[in-house]
Structure 1
Amino acid sequence: MVNINILDPGASPLDYYGFELRRCREAAGLTQRQLGDIINFTGSLVGQVETARKLPTLDFSERADAALGTGGLLSRLHPLVMRSQLPAWFQQVAELEVRAVQICSFQEHLVLGLLQTEAYARSVLGALDQSNLEDRTAVRLARQRVFEKEGPPVFWAVLGEAVLCQEIGGPEIMRKQLAHLLTFEDNPRINIQILPFSAGAHAGMQGSFDLYRFASDPTIVYTEGYGSGHPTANPDTVNDCSLRYDHLRAAALSIKDSAELIRRVMEDRYGEQLA
């Protein structure tokens, strides 16, 4: 067992979170078990979070804040903790997502992480590696809170029709994933367009990419390889990918027609019967 007395709050955001949780709990005169009883978690889990062996959930953080009267400290630390658990090469992208005023994404074969359901994300992340799957899934889903912040980014996603047909996790998971995409149908800040097979050769055939635009900083293009990410602000690359994205949006179905295609695939391919 990790000796909590030597926990270094400067070692990582997770260690700092554990240190602060322990400090606040002790200031309140509570044992780990007592705090667990109050917030409806086990004392063992409280101890694991305090020793940086377990990731706190947002629910845990909010309940602990309320019980300990921290003024929301742990809830404010939670996004930082979750971003720190992303692969080192992806952490910069998570920061871009938080800072961007507009995100434009083109994905050929996969629903991007910001729009994934929990089951879909778990299926993707667990395809080759089942280790720490619950925590890795929670970390990915935590990125979606960018849409809940004050002044969220305007988000555009162009998805290849193959995304709808690539059966990730089975019919039930796909049905719920496509239904999730449809929940954004009337949200003007989250826009989804489908690039149909009938579009033929298109401007994104070199691969998926993302554009991050900011209020005052240069636009950044992000592409991804196996276990590595490649952000760049090179003006030539940015201009090229911006032009490509404009052509992709023009070739894609309208937002309304895209929703109809998603709905049709959900019904016909995955057996959803709508009233």
Structure 2
Amino acid sequence: MTKAVDAPSTMAETYGKRLKMLRLAKGWTQRHLGGLVAVEHSRIAQLEGATGAKPTLELSRALDEKLGSDDLLQDLWPHVYRETFPDWSRAYMDYEARATVIAAYTGQTVHGLLQTPAYARATLRVGRSLKSAEQLEERIEGRLSRQERLAGSNPPTLWVVLDEAVLRRPVGGAAVMHEQMAQLLAVCRQPNVTVQVLPFSQGEHSAMGGSLNILTMLDGTVVAYTEGADSGQLIEDPHEVKSYGISYDQLRADALPPCMSLDMIRSVMEDSSARVPAQPQRRRLAQVQSQQPGGWGLRRNRGRAVPRPRP
């Protein structure tokens, strides 16, 4: 009787089965293959069994090279890492990987395609769907790997509108934010990348409270994706997508022009007075203010509490 073979239920299992098939076709042991790509044989066993940490892009490239597999494992890798993200974000990433034009608005954080490693870590480590430190590392690598398309041979056009709050919120601390803003200035030198800042002075708008992405495919198909802290929605209906596209065009029109946006990013990066005092400092300042004549009717002036002039 022929024994039935279970089909892979995850992309990690598919990756492992393909790796094992390629290795056996070469007549190599796990130890031999591990030596060729500079990893322990137990790591090869984990990959083939879909246990332990998921494969990295660098390791997938090395395995393809040694096995002569014509980039098979590299092609599978993006689907493997996407499994570490919530279900509601995977469909978006599939579209993003194929998009020729990516138009985005983000209200709380820098867009994932523009994040530094430290900034990505700071944002991903507070995700409520995060289950382990291992998964955090997988998500960081997955997010950063998406950025490779921007510098590739046929990169997408990326147009991002950042809310001013993105620049003002010290995600990861002052050093991380300084590096992140320097990264924004650097990536905007690429002809396919444009960044605008939507200032607070523009007031309310239709995309407040989350992010909005409009993706255009090579065949002209356009989809929209909205995302909050714990959920996301992919919109494929043409009429709804058109409505979201109009909202995005309004955001882009209300935002500062690209050159002025870069000036604002530089200003925030260089303005040391924009740094928020640490909590102990704020507590001491509050105590000083409450004890001064006029109570809370005080203002800061060069680090000291000075009473406002009375009428």
TM-score range, shorter chain: 0.7 to 0.9
| Residue among 180, 183, 186 paired with 1:180 | 183
| Residue among 6, 25, 28 paired with 1:27 | 25
Query: Where does residue 106 of structure 1 map in the other structure?
Result: 105
The alpha-carbon deviation at position 153 of structure 1 amounts to 2.1
The alpha-carbon deviation at position 236 of structure 1 amounts to 4.3
| Residue among 44, 47, 50 paired with 1:49 | 47
**Runs of 5+ unmatched residues, structure 1:** 1-5
Q: Does 1:37 align with 2:35?
A: yes
Query: Where does residue 231 of structure 2 map in the other structure?
Result: 228
Which range is displaced more, 27-36 or 157-166? Answer: 27-36
The answer to whether the Cα contact below 8 Å between 1:33 and 1:43 also exists between their aligned partners in 2 is: yes
* Corresponding letter in the other structure for 1:15: E
The answer to whether the Cα contact below 8 Å between 1:9 and 1:19 also exists between their aligned partners in 2 is: no
Distance 1:204 1:91 in 2: 22
The alpha-carbon deviation at position 156 of structure 1 amounts to 0.8
Deviation per CA, 1:82-111: give whole Å up to 9, x if none.
233332111110111123221111111111
The answer to whether the Cα contact below 8 Å between 1:86 and 1:139 also exists between their aligned partners in 2 is: no
Q: Does 1:119 align with 2:118?
A: yes
Q: Which has the larger radius of gyration?
A: 2
The answer to whether the Cα contact below 8 Å between 1:203 and 1:247 also exists between their aligned partners in 2 is: no
TM-score (norm 1): 0.86
Q: Which has the higher contact order (CA 8 A, sep 6+)?
A: 1
1:108-187 equivalences under 5 Å are 108-127=107-126, 128=128, 129=130, 131=132, 132-148=135-151, 150-187=153-190
Which range is displaced more, 204-213 or 160-169? Answer: 204-213
Evaluate the alpha carbon distance shift between residue 8 and residue 61 of structure 1 in structure 2; reply closer, same or farther with a 3 A threshold. farther
The answer to whether the Cα contact below 8 Å between 2:23 and 2:67 also exists between their aligned partners in 1 is: yes
The answer to whether the Cα contact below 8 Å between 2:196 and 2:255 also exists between their aligned partners in 1 is: yes
Aligned residues: 266
Over the matched positions of the two proteins, sequence identity in percent amounts to 39
SS at structure 2 position matched to 1:240: helix
Query: Where does residue 92 of structure 1 map in the other structure?
Result: 91
Query: Where does residue 259 of structure 2 map in the other structure?
Result: 256
Q: Does 1:214 align with 2:217?
A: yes
**Runs of 5+ unmatched residues, structure 2:** 276-311
Please give the root-mean-square deviation of Cα atoms over the aligned residues, in Å: 2.5
* Corresponding letter in the other structure for 1:145: E
Deviation per CA, 1:10-33: give whole Å up to 9, x if none.
222211111121222233233222
The answer to whether the Cα contact below 8 Å between 2:210 and 2:229 also exists between their aligned partners in 1 is: no
Evaluate the alpha carbon distance shift between residue 176 and residue 206 of structure 1 in structure 2; reply closer, same or farther with a 3 A threshold. closer
The alpha-carbon deviation at position 7 of structure 1 amounts to 8.8
Deviation per CA, 1:171-196: give whole Å up to 9, x if none.
22212211221222221211111112
The answer to whether the Cα contact below 8 Å between 2:99 and 2:217 also exists between their aligned partners in 1 is: yes
TM-score (norm 2): 0.77
